[in-house]
């Protein structure tokens, strides 16, 4: 199966529409089985430069392509992706150990993301300016237009390897920019697969270049090159902050991590929200930037919630990501599994109760629920990025809001409540990019504005919003002589 789907075991760079070999190749192995999947080209600085030059040259013509033609390329890519959806899901599951049921959802979302990009390509516009509102502006009329900015360096993480690439490639193509894409080292196949889809869809050579290799070589070269006009990054806060410090005057969009929380108020029907809480905490092994990591539950419904969550977590099937009923599989690496386990042990040694899970079984970390967790412990104040959720008891909504805000991060937060005043208080006071009323924070559809405050990042994605980031506002003023 592996060989049928990964058409060639040796994967090269894609620069200016051509497969480019490198001096060094690295083995890509399954995070689940350790089995070798492919050999991946490791680009050096010169390869990255070649990709940047190709993107710069392609921009000269691509930026002038009419909107309807850019939309057509995206529409054709959508059709090809629909035809190859099973193959796409298999690639995601193979290289990232994302259970196939979630990989299929990611492919469906990727298709939607490119569809939104095709639609938004036709809706790029500015506005007229009321110049005569100022005495100095009388006699002038004018308007803004949005111009593509040039070469965009896109650096993506492993956890949604196809859809997060789409959130950069889709709006970049829609707005007439060109791209140098550096996918995560563990998930290059999803990116190369998409690049092939776009070649078949008729995307001109040089518009999308894929440069695989290490973050420290490929990523750093992209960030430091003055011909790159913008860096759009999704990944960990530490790498993101480093990018911001090195990017100089380049535009940067940073979509970083979080320790997302939900508040569950007194009177909420636990049975009605249980499935959402389990999905939020454990889908993709908790490796989701808005994974439900912290639950603050009112003391009157706390025991019922912990009991029902524990029973539900015990039923989740652990195993091979390619099996259709697997819910939890391996984390992205053994190092990450050991790190997450050490945080559970640290919590247990410091007063937390392991309500369920907490062990590594056949190299897979069990879904884990911790209660009575001190907010200073790693499992609470850091991003766990593993199937771990903490549930703490609160006496009031004000207390819960205080705990949610006591965080370096601020991506999304949710509140379940039947009390409109509590809902309004949460919308006003939660320090996050999005507040979800009667839902977990683990909610995203691909057209919505998405991004965080604090160390969760700067800028917004969601096709229309990413296109605003990827275009420069230009003002045209006519003097009516």
Among 111, 117, 110, 89, residue whose Cα is nearest residue 101: 89
The residue within the footprint of ligand NAP, chosen from 282, 385, 416, 465 (CB under 6 A), is 385
Please, which residue, 148 or 240, has the CB nearer to ligand NAP?
240
- 256 binds ligand NAP, rule: CB under 6 A: yes
Least gap, CB of 95 to ligand NAP (angstroms): 12
Please, which residue, 96 or 177, has the CB nearer to ligand NAP?
96
Q: Is residue 111 within 8 Å of 85, Cβ to Cβ? A: yes
- 153 binds ligand NAP, rule: CB under 6 A: no
Least gap, CB of 215 to ligand NAP (angstroms): 2
Least gap, CB of 412 to ligand NAP (angstroms): 9
The residue within the footprint of ligand NAP, chosen from 383, 446, 455, 469 (CB under 6 A), is 383
The residue within the footprint of ligand NAP, chosen from 56, 234, 259, 293 (CB under 6 A), is 234
The residue within the footprint of ligand NAP, chosen from 153, 219, 321, 441 (CB under 6 A), is 219
Please, which residue, 156 or 190, has the CB nearer to ligand NAP?
156
Helix (H, G, I), strand (E, B) or coil at 256: coil
- 242 binds ligand NAP, rule: CB under 6 A: yes
Largest CA distance in the chain: 79
Q: What span, in angstroms and rounded, lies between the C-alpha atoms of 467 and 479?
A: 30
- 207 binds ligand NAP, rule: CB under 6 A: no
Least gap, CB of 76 to ligand NAP (angstroms): 27
Of 95, 106, 120, 255, the active-site residue reads 255
- 215 binds ligand NAP, rule: CB under 6 A: yes
Vertex 261 angle, CA 255 and 263, to 5°: 145
Least gap, CB of 329 to ligand NAP (angstroms): 17
Task: State the CB neighbour count (10 A cutoff) for residue 474.
Answer: 11
Task: State the CB neighbour count (10 A cutoff) for residue 69.
Answer: 12
- 185 binds ligand NAP, rule: CB under 6 A: yes
Least gap, CB of 105 to ligand NAP (angstroms): 15
Please, which residue, 371 or 456, has the CB nearer to ligand NAP?
456
Among 72, 69, 164, 149, residue whose Cα is nearest residue 113: 164
**228-234 and 251-255 beta bridge pairing:** parallel
Among 156, 166, 192, 33, residue whose Cα is nearest residue 106: 166
The residue within the footprint of ligand NAP, chosen from 153, 170, 235, 387 (CB under 6 A), is 235
Mutual orientation of helices 67-83 and 85-96 as an angle, nearest 10°? Answer: 80
366 included as an active-site residue: no
- Beta-carbon contacts of 442 under 8 Å, excluding residues fewer than 6 positions away, are 260, 279, 280, 283, 288, 290, 291, 292, 412
Mutual orientation of helices 100-120 and 163-174 as an angle, nearest 10°? Answer: 10
381 included as an active-site residue: no
Q: Which stretch binds ligand NAP (CB under 6 A): 5-13, 14-22, 233-241, 469-477?
A: 233-241
The residue within the footprint of ligand NAP, chosen from 220, 374, 399, 431 (CB under 6 A), is 220
Please, which residue, 176 or 280, has the CB nearer to ligand NAP?
280
For residue 182, the cross-strand partners are 155
- 45 binds ligand NAP, rule: CB under 6 A: no
Burial grade of 272 (CB within 10 A; 0-12, 13-18, 19 or more): exposed
- 261 binds ligand NAP, rule: CB under 6 A: no
Please, which residue, 157 or 171, has the CB nearer to ligand NAP?
157
The residue within the footprint of ligand NAP, chosen from 76, 98, 168, 182 (CB under 6 A), is 182
**368-371 and 353-356 beta bridge pairing:** antiparallel
- Beta-carbon contacts of 345 under 8 Å, excluding residues fewer than 6 positions away, are none
Q: Is residue 200 within 8 Å of 80, Cβ to Cβ? A: yes
Burial grade of 399 (CB within 10 A; 0-12, 13-18, 19 or more): middle
Please, which residue, 38 or 223, has the CB nearer to ligand NAP?
223
Total residues in contact with ligand NAP, by rule CB under 6 A: 30
Please, which residue, 70 or 182, has the CB nearer to ligand NAP?
182
According to DSSP H, which parts of 44-184 are helical? 45-62, 67-83, 85-96, 100-120, 163-174
Of 95, 106, 120, 289, the active-site residue reads 289
Report the site for ligand NAP in 277-316 (rule: CB under 6 A): 289
Q: Which residues are catalytically annotated?
A: 255, 289
**Interface positions with ligand NAP (CB under 6 A):** 155-160, 164, 182, 184-185, 214-216, 219-220, 223, 234-236, 239, 242-243, 255-257, 289, 383, 385, 411, 457
């Amino acid at each position: 199966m592996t060989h049928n789907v990964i058409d060639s075991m040796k994967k090269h760079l894609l620069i200016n529409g051509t497969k480019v070999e490198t001096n060094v190749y690295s083995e890509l192995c399954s995070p689940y089985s350790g089995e070798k999947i492919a050999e991946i080209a490791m680009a050096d600085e010169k390869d990255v430069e070649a990709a940047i030059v190709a993107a710069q040259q392609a921009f000269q013509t691509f930026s002038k392509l009419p909107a309807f033609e850019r939309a057509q390329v995206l529409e054709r890519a959508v059709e090809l992706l629909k035809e190859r959806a099973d193959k796409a899901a298999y690639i995601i599951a193979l290289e990232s150990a994302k259970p196939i049921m979630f990989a299929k959802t990611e492919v469906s979302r990727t298709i939607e993301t490119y569809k939104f990009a095709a639609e938004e390509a036709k809706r790029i516009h500015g506005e007229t300016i009321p110049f005569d509102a100022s005495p100095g502006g009388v006699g002038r009329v004018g308007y803004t237009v949005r111009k593509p900015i040039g070469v965009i360096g896109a650096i993506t993480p492993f956890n949604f390897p196809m859809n997060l690439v789409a959130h950069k490639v889709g709006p970049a193509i829609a707005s007439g920019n060109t791209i140098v894409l550096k996918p995560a080292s563990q998930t290059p196949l999803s990116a190369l697969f998409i690049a092939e889809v776009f070649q078949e869809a008729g995307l001109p050579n040089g518009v999308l270049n894929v440069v695989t290799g290490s973050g420290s070589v490929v990523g750093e070269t992209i960030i430091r090159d003055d011909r790159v006009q913008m860096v759009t990054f999704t990944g960990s806060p530490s790498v993101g902050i480093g990018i911001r410090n090195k990017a100089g005057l380049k535009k940067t969009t940073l979509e970083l991590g979080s320790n997302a929380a939900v508040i569950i108020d007194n009177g909420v029907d636990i049975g009605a929200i249980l499935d959402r809480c389990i999905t939020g905490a454990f889908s993709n092994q908790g490796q989701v930037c808005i994974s439900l990591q912290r639950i603050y539950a009112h003391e009157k419904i706390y025991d019922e919630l912990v009991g029902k969550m524990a029973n539900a977590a015990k039923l989740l099937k652990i195993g091979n990501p390619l099996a259709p009923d697997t819910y939890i599989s391996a984390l992205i690496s053994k190092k990450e599994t050991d790190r997450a386990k050490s945080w559970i042990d640290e919590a247990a040694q410091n007063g937390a109760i392991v309500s369920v899970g907490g062990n590594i079984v056949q190299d897979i970390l069990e879904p884990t629920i911790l209660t009575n967790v001190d907010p200073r412990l790693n499992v609470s104040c850091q991003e766990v990025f593993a199937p771990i959720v903490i549930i703490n008891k609160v006496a009031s909504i004000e207390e819960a809001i205080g705990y949610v805000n006591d965080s370096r991060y601020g991506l999304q937060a949710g509140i379940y409540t039947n009390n409109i005043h509590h809902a309004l208080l949460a919308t006003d006071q939660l320090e996050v990019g999005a507040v979800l009323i009667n839902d977990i924070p683990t909610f995203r559809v691909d057209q919505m504005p998405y991004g965080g405050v604090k160390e969760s990042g700067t800028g917004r994605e969601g096709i229309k919003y990413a296109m605003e980031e990827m275009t420069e506002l230009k003002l045209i003023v006519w003097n009516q002589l």
